[in-house]
Structure formats: C-alpha cells, structure tokens
Amino acid sequence: MRSYPPSHVHKPESVDRVDDKKATGPQGKIRSINHLTAAVVGVEVAKLAQCQAEALAALLNVAPEVGLRPRAASDIRTDLEVGLVAMAGAGCGDGGDWPFSADEAYADSSALLAELGWAAGFMDDDGCAGELLPPLDPPPATPAGSVDGAGASSTSTDDGATPEAADADGKPATTTEAASKPAPGKTTKGQKRARQPRFAFMTKTEIDHLEDGYRWRKYGQKAVKNSPFPRSYYRCSNSKCTVKKRVERSSDDPSIVITTYEGQHCHYTVTFPRGASAATLAGQIAFSAHHHLLYNDLPPLHSPTAQNPLFCRPVLSSMLLPQHCNRQELQVASYSTQPSSVMSLPTSVPAVDKGLLDDMVPPVMRHG
DNA sequence: CGCATTTGACCTGCGC
DNA sequence: GCGCAGGTCAAATGCG
Ligand SMILES: [Zn+2]
C-alpha cells in the first residue's frame, strides 16, 4: 500500500530512531568464496593468538584437504586480516550476540568462550587458553536454561556474565547483546524460541555480501545503534532450511564485515564444492581438524596445532562443529570438546576424505 | 511468472 | 509502564 522510491543506495543515517525508518546501506556484490573461506580460517587464529599471518598459512594447509582452496596465504592476508568466531548457542541463554566492534571482538569472544566453559582448563595442553582467556568471574547460575543448542550441549551457561566477563580484559563489552531472542516466533506461546547456535566471522573486505555457496533471501534490514551501517538479515532460500545470517559492517572499522550465522543447513550447498557455505566450510574445517584429532591421518606438519602452538583444536572443533553438523555430528562435536573422550571413539569410522562429506551431510540430504 | 529485494509496521525483551 | 533496540513479517516492487 505504499509506493516505494527507487530505493537503492540510501545513505546510512544515524540509527537512533524509534522505528526503523531508515537505514539502508550500500548493497555490495558478492565476489568470492575465498574471502569467506579465509575468514573462517582466520577466525580461530585471530582470536586465539593474533598470529594471523603464520596461522593462516598454517591453516591453509588444512583447508585443501577438505576441499577448500584458498589462495596463497599472502593474498588472503591482504584481503582480510581479522577473523573472529564465537558462538552463542541456544543453551547459552542467548548470552552472546554480536554487535561487537573490531576492538571488542576479542573481549567478547573471550566472554563467550568463558561462558561456554572453554576457558582455561578446557584448552589444550598448549595452554593457549590462558593467554587469551583471562580469568573471568564465574557466571552466576541461571535459573532454567532451556539447553538445546548443540554447541552448548554441555554448558548451559547464561548471559548473565556477558558484559562483565568482557571486562576482564579491561575493555567494556559495549553492546554485547544480552537480550534473549525475541523472535516473534510462533513457537509455543509464552515459550521463548530456542536460539540456534551461532557464530560470526569478521571479514576484512569491501564486499558486503560474501558468497558462501548458499542462496539467501533477504528478509530485513535494520539500522544498528551507534553504527552508520545497517544490518541485513538473510534466510536460507531453501524453504526447509532455517538457517539465518546477519551481515553488518563494523562501525569501528568499516572495512570489516561481520557475518553471523545461525542454525545449520539441512541440505548441501548449491555450488559445492566450489562454493561451500560458511557453515559448511566451517564444518569442514572443523572436521578436518577434528579428524586430525581423531585419527591423525596427516603428518604432524599438517596439523594446525602442530604448526601453531597457539592453535587450540578443542576450541576450533567445538566452536564450529555444532552449527554445521547434523545430529550425528553433534555427537562427535561433543567429543571434540573432550579430547580424552575422543580417543575412546570407535575406530570404525569412515576415512577422512569421503567421511567428511558423509559426516557433514547425510546422503539423503545431499543436493537437498 | 517466480523469486529476491525493499522497507514500514509489528512484535518481543530489556532497562529505567 | 514506557521507550528503545533487535528481530521478523509481509505487501509492494524489481528483475531475469
Ligand atoms: Zn540452508
């Protein structure tokens, strides 16, 4: 009932409006999967140790095994240098959400990790956790947390400690959305809709919308408080798929795009293997690492952990797996967080290469 | 024609 | 209770 102006390229304005009356940002064009690939890879590194360059290079050794074909590490480094991944599973009580800024990313991730129980002690013997995850105040036990997220399978930590936790670093976690999922969701009346596990990527790129192999339908755009850039909401085009993602540009560093994925695809990418979704990619990477962890198929040199003392496998696996794997995988994911348990896994597991696909997507769901 | 995008309205949760 | 902010809906519109 309303006439729409030629829209397009509105100028982002301040967002302190009561109702999203504005905000429309530049609509970038998808360019390359490589960006995202690298982002996924870079993420862990950046968060864990800031040894971006070397870590990326090391990680890239892993990617090829799972079908990822990032360009030379040096190239990627120029395209995107910062990466961050964190997850706020449903079980986390909606604890973390993003609006983190580039500068706060680390603090936020730390908080999240802590909430998830990944703080020191959970980390590898490498002890990288200690450096990156400063001691945090134990989150107050929250009443009833409908645990449901795979990622939070073991921890139903809440968001209560979110803001403060981030402070452990001395940085205020500014807008760590401690709010729970509103979701006009039609779940059950009165009952909060369980929030799917999420993870975000910080990608340094000019492109606003990175191609990830899946088709997305934009269903909303909102102005972000304290940011000149709007946030776009996308849903997987597959009607049976509930995966969503948000894309926004960091207000602190406009060159950084923050993509937050929520949920897991129940189908395969539309352009696999050339273009795998972030979820899939992440899953693949995670699996790659995971398999390394489980089976040591590859020589130590190819192991991220081996090349990067700062690279913590448990974190990588546990952070990325839950979102992208199916039920079966979730089980594995849980193992990944407990290296000790891993070892007890039956050895009758499919080989890495083929197993990867099987693990990621059940045959039935392929080509969804 | 089918699908994606645009965009104001609406819903929900939270802080004051 | 009110206002704010995040998230979602859905009709209109655009595009291939
Ligand atoms: Zn999907």
pLDDT of residue A270: 66
Q: Which of A184, A162, A183, A181 is nearest to A173 (CA)?
A: A162
Nucleotide nearest to A21 (CA to C1'): B8
CB A349 within 8 A of CB A255: no
The distance (Å) linking the CA of A20 with the C1' of B10 is: 11
Q: How far is the CA of A271 from the centre of ligand 1 (A)?
A: 12
Greatest Cα pair distance, chain A, in angstroms, is 63
Question: What residue type is A368 in one-letter code?
Answer: G
The rounded Cα A258 to chain-centroid distance in angstroms is 10
The distance (Å) linking the CA of A177 with the C1' of B15 is: 13
Which CA-bearing residue is nearest the C1' of B14? Answer: A179
Calpha distance A93→A142 (Å, rounded): 9
CB A249 within 8 A of CB A256: yes
pLDDT band at A208 (very low <50, low <70, confident <90, very high): confident
**Each residue of A128-169: pLDDT tens digit?**
322 322 333 333 333 333 333 333 333 333 333 333 333 333
Which CA-bearing residue is nearest the C1' of C10? Answer: A219
Buried b (16+ CB within 10 A) or exposed e, A236-257: bebeebebbbbbbbbbbbeebb
Nucleotide nearest to A20 (CA to C1'): B8
Q: How far is the CA of A330 from the centre of ligand 1 (A)?
A: 17
Q: Point out the least confidently predicted range of A35-44, A252-261, A293-302.
A: A293-302
Q: How far is the CA of A339 from the centre of ligand 1 (A)?
A: 30
ipTM reported for the complex surpasses 0.85: yes
Structure tokens at A303: 């192991």
CB atoms within 10 A of CB A328: 11
Q: Which of A107-121, A243-257, A265-279, A301-315 has the highest mean pLDDT?
A: A243-257
Calpha distance A31→A322 (Å, rounded): 27
Q: Which of A159-163, A201-205, A259-263 has the highest mean pLDDT?
A: A259-263
Rounded to an integer, the average pLDDT of A214-235 is: 90
- Please measure the distance between the N-terminal and C-terminal CA atoms of chain A and give it in whole angstroms: 36
Structure tokens at A213: 């192999």
Structure tokens at A237: 């085009």
pLDDT, greater one: A124 or A243: A243
Tell me which H or E stretch contains A248: strand A244-249
Rounded to an integer, the average pLDDT of A94-104 is: 36
Q: How far is the CA of A267 from the centre of ligand 1 (A)?
A: 6
The rounded Cα A207 to chain-centroid distance in angstroms is 18
List the nucleotides on chain B closer than 7 A to a protein CB.
3-15
Alpha helices for A15-121 (secondary structure H): 33-48, 52-60, 73-79, 105-115
Determine if strand B comes within 7 Å of the CB of A182: yes
Determine if strand B comes within 7 Å of the CB of A327: no
For residue A198, list its beta bridge partners: A262
